[in-house]
Structure 1
Amino acid sequence: MPAPVSHLARARVDDAGTGIALMLAAWGVFSLVDTSVKWLSLAGIPALQLAFMRFGVHLVLSTGPMLGRDHSGWTAPRSLALAMLARGGLLMCATICNFFALRYLDLAVVAAITFAAPVVVCLLSVPLLGERVGPWRWGAIVLGFLGVLVVVRPWGAAFHPAMLLSCVVPFALGLFSILTRRLAGVAAPRTMQLYAGIVGALCLAPFAAAVWVSPEGPLDWALLFAIGAFAWFGHDLFGRAHGYAPASVLMPFSYSFLLYMALTGWLVFGTVPDAGTLAGAAIIAASGLIIWWRER
């Protein structure tokens, strides 16, 4: 999941159509990350190795554009650096849990649970940001968590323990989003991306080395490196989209991720979301849209 763009960001060009197209493209690319991870997981590649490659390649691609520029983006005051390192740690936590869960869960299930993150952000904004939440948004929060219960169904045969790991993801991404809000306007986006890559690559390198499994064929090798490239490219498209249209216009189109994941799950793995997953995903999406509507 990408970092949210600050509400302080202004569109460079008033072109909502271009922004929406870039937003749809970004979420399409993000779906390729999870699809590739699931493919490689089923091929026997450990989740920690996949997470390392996601951050390692992302770090290389993030560092390249900064070479030859002034070095102001490389360093930061200690308190700011610690905040960006914590932000990177939260993204790493979400990525690891997501990659472990993808081995066992359908893509549509993972996508539906992940999109509870806006609900978590709304919930945590009260104690952490001091925001006021009215009855509409409280109702949306309750509705969102009911939607997660419908997807997970801990009372039925469809429940898998990996769903518990997947449920960690929206909470980690929620905290990640709140910390990004606090850093917006203080730290440059490219600096935050750089720190996130450094945290993930350095922390996961020894674990990846310990469990490393070499892919068997050229396709698997290509996908192993493509994971980080897809993630970096998706973030780039996501940021560019907000240069053409404000977040209030683009947010509803983020739910295209659910459609992308259902489609790739069917095309690549032959899985079709069941009625419970579809119903839960619809409830979660509705709760997120209610929150978006009230925040506008």
Structure 2
Amino acid sequence: MFEAKPQNPALAATLIFAATAFIAGATLLAKALGTGALGPALPAFQVSHGRFLFAFAVILSIVATTRPRLGRPHWGLHLGRTSFGWAGVTLMFAAVAHIPMADATAIAFLNPVFAMLLAIPLLGERVGPWRWGAAVVALLGALILLRPATGSFQPAALLALGAAVVMGMELIFIKKLSGRERPIQILLVNNAMGLVIASVAVSPVWQTPLPAQWAALAGIGLLMACAQICFVNGMARADASFVAPFSYATLVFATLYDLAAFQVWPDAVSLTGAAIILAGALTLAWREGRARKT
């Protein structure tokens, strides 16, 4: 166990908002690498390897400088969390190489919905009508973004949907891990394990990156490390129900970055589907907050 951070909602909101900007920036760089904008397209396995390699270097340098007190990690929970986290980020990087960032980001916001569904058999949680309603609404938004009834069906959107499922599973492990260890220790172990997993996965498809690609990979790692630091410290300073809505600013940044870099404008279908997913996810976050208070 560790000493809890003093509650500071304003700082928590600022940290979460900053994390969303960092995450969207990392996703933009991943899209540039996966689409060949910076040279020959790199596979998603290699992009996620760069993410963990450079993020681990950042976190390790912080630990070496600050020398925080570290305890004994719960290796089983860390392995589960990191395995699903690596799979989720790899699927997400693969998705944004083929579909607009706004669509992929919106679909990925289904992860708390899948976490809720998975918590029923895995954590024995009960789900009331409000939570079921929010889940159905969010899933309806995802169905709209998949465009199954039109000629513009996006098979790559299924990659983003898969990312949401496995990141939902990651949230189950985060729930079990929360309150057990210091945030910096969680980040260190997570990125170290992620680097090992990513190194094994990338070995069959490794390509030597160009200098610009190395810079983008380093940027992804740095941005994701900053996002993780902001996120865990923000979550430690306010209730999850309060900070959850600020995390959805990722969609705004993803849309703006995609527009600026690739001139991708969200169409009516994208805006409608994203709005419905956000409505369901925000309703779920609100209900979770009410349930905790009760």
Instruction: Compute the TM-score of the two structures, normalised by the length of structure 2.
Output: 0.89
Residues 243 and 261 of structure 1: CA distance in aligned 2, closer, same or farther (over 3 Å): same
Task: Please state how far the C-alpha of 1:198 moved relative to its aligned partner.
Answer: 2.4
Task: Please state how far the C-alpha of 1:209 moved relative to its aligned partner.
Answer: 4.2
Give the SS at the match of 1:123: helix
Are 2:216 and 1:213 aligned? no
Residues 119 and 9 of structure 1: CA distance in aligned 2, closer, same or farther (over 3 Å): farther
* Residue 60 of structure 2, aligned match among 58, 63, 77: 63
Are 2:248 and 1:255 aligned? yes
Are 2:46 and 1:49 aligned? yes
Matched residue, 1:127: 121
Matched residue, 1:234: 227
Question: What is the rounded CA distance, in whole Å, between the counterparts of 1:100 and 1:157 in structure 2?
Answer: 22
Give the SS at the match of 2:248: helix
2:83–2:197 Cα contact (<8 Å) kept = no
2:77–2:176 Cα contact (<8 Å) kept = no
Residues 26 and 61 of structure 1: CA distance in aligned 2, closer, same or farther (over 3 Å): same
Are 2:25 and 1:36 aligned? no
Question: What is the rounded CA distance, in whole Å, between the counterparts of 2:227 and 2:70 in structure 1?
Answer: 25
Residues 19 and 189 of structure 1: CA distance in aligned 2, closer, same or farther (over 3 Å): closer
Matched residue, 1:175: 169
1:137-196 CA deviation, whole Å, 9 max, x = no partner? 111111111111011122322222211111111111111111111111223333332232
Question: What is the rounded CA distance, in whole Å, between the counterparts of 1:272 and 1:172 in structure 2?
Answer: 28
Question: What is the rounded CA distance, in whole Å, between the counterparts of 1:244 and 1:71 in structure 2?
Answer: 20
Matched residue, 1:20: 13
Task: Please state how far the C-alpha of 1:254 moved relative to its aligned partner.
Answer: 1.1
Larger displacement relative to structure 2 (181-190 or 147-156): 181-190
Structure 2: segments with no counterpart, 5+ residues: 290-294
2:147–2:154 Cα contact (<8 Å) kept = no
Question: What is the rounded CA distance, in whole Å, between the counterparts of 2:54 and 2:277 in structure 1?
Answer: 32
1:11–1:242 Cα contact (<8 Å) kept = no
Task: Please state how far the C-alpha of 1:111 moved relative to its aligned partner.
Answer: 0.5
Are 2:275 and 1:278 aligned? no
Q: Deviating runs (4+, > 6 A) in structure 1?
A: none
Task: Please state how far the C-alpha of 1:88 moved relative to its aligned partner.
Answer: 0.6
Question: What is the rounded CA distance, in whole Å, between the counterparts of 1:221 and 1:59 in structure 2?
Answer: 15
| Equivalent residue runs for 1:280-295 within 5 Å | 280-295=273-288
Question: What is the rounded CA distance, in whole Å, between the counterparts of 1:139 and 1:247 in structure 2?
Answer: 20
Residues 198 and 61 of structure 1: CA distance in aligned 2, closer, same or farther (over 3 Å): same
Question: What is the rounded CA distance, in whole Å, between the counterparts of 2:125 and 2:60 in structure 1?
Answer: 36
1:94-138 CA deviation, whole Å, 9 max, x = no partner? 011111111111100110100011111222222222222111111
Question: What is the rounded CA distance, in whole Å, between the counterparts of 2:69 and 2:16 in structure 1?
Answer: 30
Residues 127 and 12 of structure 1: CA distance in aligned 2, closer, same or farther (over 3 Å): same
Residues 241 and 183 of structure 1: CA distance in aligned 2, closer, same or farther (over 3 Å): closer
Structure 1: segments with no counterpart, 5+ residues: 1-7
Task: Please state how far the C-alpha of 1:272 moved relative to its aligned partner.
Answer: 0.7
Question: What is the rounded CA distance, in whole Å, between the counterparts of 1:268 and 1:57 in structure 2?
Answer: 23
Aligned partner letter, 1:139: G
Residues 102 and 9 of structure 1: CA distance in aligned 2, closer, same or farther (over 3 Å): farther
Give the SS at the match of 2:165: helix
Question: What is the rounded CA distance, in whole Å, between the counterparts of 2:44 and 2:119 in structure 1?
Answer: 31
2:48–2:93 Cα contact (<8 Å) kept = yes
Question: What is the rounded CA distance, in whole Å, between the counterparts of 1:9 and 1:180 in structure 2?
Answer: 18
1:258-293 CA deviation, whole Å, 9 max, x = no partner? 111111111000001111111111111111111122
Count of aligned residue pairs for this structure pair: 283
What's the % identity of the aligned pairs?
31
| Equivalent residue runs for 1:48-197 within 5 Å | 48-67=45-64, 69=67, 72-73=70-71, 75-76=72-73, 80-197=74-191
Task: Please state how far the C-alpha of 1:24 moved relative to its aligned partner.
Answer: 1.1
Instruction: Compute the TM-score of the two structures, normalised by the length of structure 1.
Output: 0.88
Question: What is the rounded CA distance, in whole Å, between the counterparts of 2:165 and 2:49 in structure 1?
Answer: 21
Question: What is the rounded CA distance, in whole Å, between the counterparts of 1:205 and 1:117 in structure 2?
Answer: 25
Give the SS at the match of 1:67: helix
Question: What is the rounded CA distance, in whole Å, between the counterparts of 2:3 and 2:152 in structure 1?
Answer: 42
Aligned partner letter, 1:41: G
Measured on the aligned residues, the alpha-carbon RMSD in Å equals: 2.1
